[in-house]
Amino acid sequence: MDNQMCVEFDSKSENEAFARIVAAAFVAKADPTLEEIDDIKTVVSEAVTNAIIHGYGEKGDQKVFMECSLNGKKIQISIMDKGVGIDNIEEARKPLYTTKPDVHRAGMGFTFMETLMDTLEIFSKPGEGTTVRMTKNIEG
């Protein structure tokens, strides 16, 4: 592994932008294209927003964790929460599925992550939280 970093931040919506910038800066060593940087920023935004809104119900006093590793031109990003967890991961992965229709959630977060990254893994246990792990080979 060439490099690795971990950050922890409060589960507040304004920290979603912070996470995007940190992930984009971290991957810069791999010399990504602008499109690849945009993809990474988008998936981090989706995963962090899911943790804040769905994992914690927008309780700003909880923590979201982000780990990134870079091995050559392959980046792995993990976003973790210790929130409510996901009862049915397969159902949650379906386009347009949302647990928060009352707050106008589009239900496309996992679909975007899966489309923009090479791999997407979701680990969750009800009552214990969720980890979203994504990888992307940087073509640059």
CB 24 within 8 Å of CB 45: no
**CB atoms < 10 A from the CB of 14, how many?**
10
| Cα 89 from Cα 104, distance rounded (Å) | 20
10: β partners: 63
70: β partners: 3, 75
| Cα 83 from Cα 70, distance rounded (Å) | 27
Catalytic positions, written as ranges: 46, 50, 105
- Name every residue whose Cβ is closer than 8 Å to that of residue 107 and which is 6 or more positions away in sequence: 94, 95, 96, 97, 98
